[in-house]
Homo-oligomer: A and B are copies of this chain.
Amino acid sequence: MARPKKPAHAATPAPLPLPAAGGLVSLADVAALAGVSSGTVSRALSKPEMISVSTRQRVQAAAERLGYVANGAARALALRKTHTVGALVPRFGGSSFPTLVQALESTLAAAGYTLLLSAPDHERMQQEAADILRALLQRGVDAVALLGTEYPGAVFTMLAAHRLPFVMMWAEHSSQGPCVGFDEQAAAALVVNHLAQAGHRRIGFIGGRTAGNDRARRRFNGVLQALARHGMTLVADAALETEYGFRQGFEAMQTVLTKAAPITAMVCGNDYLAAGVLAALDQAGVQVPQQMSVLGFNDNDFAAYLHPPLSTVRLPISAMGEQAGHYLLQQLQPLPVAAAAAAAAPGVPLAPPPLPVELVLRASTGPAPAAARRKR
């Protein structure tokens, strides 16, 4: 600033590594030190191949020396790109969403994108989703990852108005846009078929709240449908929904036991619930699997370390996060071939196929107890 030209022989009296006036070190500062224009500095740093070796080195040295860090806001303003992806993920703690988010974040980070996380604790989500999204848009994001599909229309309207790529995670078949997820019905079928083949006819279910939670609802419906294919339904008194959580599973199972519904197997909506269910059975003196079988959906990864180890459907949570990330990145930086494909079928971004699920059998299931089997 004081001297726009002047190559930096051995000038500057106090060239500390952390100088900068009141504000922070900018392109202009680096330019002054390197004795070039700010435009050159910009290029030297972002497109080195366009610059001669000597000046590039001078610039890099100067930048290093001053501890220059580009101002993302200015860059975003000029580029109209933030290199940031927003994520809307409700009920973050105590769920398996962290695993999903971790996978999403590292996938994005590997491509130079950062994750702007919004994790409304309450079910503010339901009403305020649009406001929360607005905050994300306002802050500046190039794309958005949503958990689930249950959002007010305003959310999709805003997304469309801003022409933002987005993806719904842990979801399938939304008319609103592309989803990544796995086949919940297949997962439920895996569980139910296994129980049916073992001779179980009276089956209970403890799952998450279905209102405003499409994941819990699909899971529940999947179980119902799979049961129907075997000519069964859930035992009325033994079908509950509750919040996800250890305590909730525990208490729900206590309720089921109180009602003394004669069941031989319980299906658990996720493994938090399953752990609570097992604890309740243990406390009540019910033997697993001798007196009752338990199976679950394995959102997290501790089912194998419960007592008894729980048979579960293993769900590809991490893979789902990676898939979401890759999908968004593909929308963000379309490769030649992808762009060509997109041009061929415009308007319909190709969503990835559902991820595979897998039944993992452990000690918690066995043939239906004799007493129950006699009933049919």
Contacts and interface: CB of A to CB of B under 8 A. Distances in A.
B275 A302 contact: yes
Given A97-B98, A276-B305, A279-B306, A105 B118 contact: yes
A45 to B, nearest CB: 11
By size class, the interface of chain A is 35 or more
A18 B161 contact: yes
A176 interface: no
A20 to B, nearest CB: 7
Given A114-B136, A121-B102, A307 B307 contact: yes
Interface string A272-290: 1001101100100000000
B301 A84 contact: no
Contact of A138 (B70, B106, B134): B70
Most chain B CB atoms below 10 A, which of A80, A97, A158, A305: A305
A318 B94 CA distance: 11
Interface of A: 17-18, 20, 23-24, 67, 69-74, 76-77, 80, 82-84, 92-95, 97-103, 105-106, 109, 112, 114-121, 134-140, 157-158, 160-163, 246-247, 249-250, 272, 275-276, 278-279, 282, 300-302, 304-307, 309, 318
A140 B73 contact: yes
B118 A109 contact: yes
A279 to B, nearest CB: 4
Contacts of A76: 73
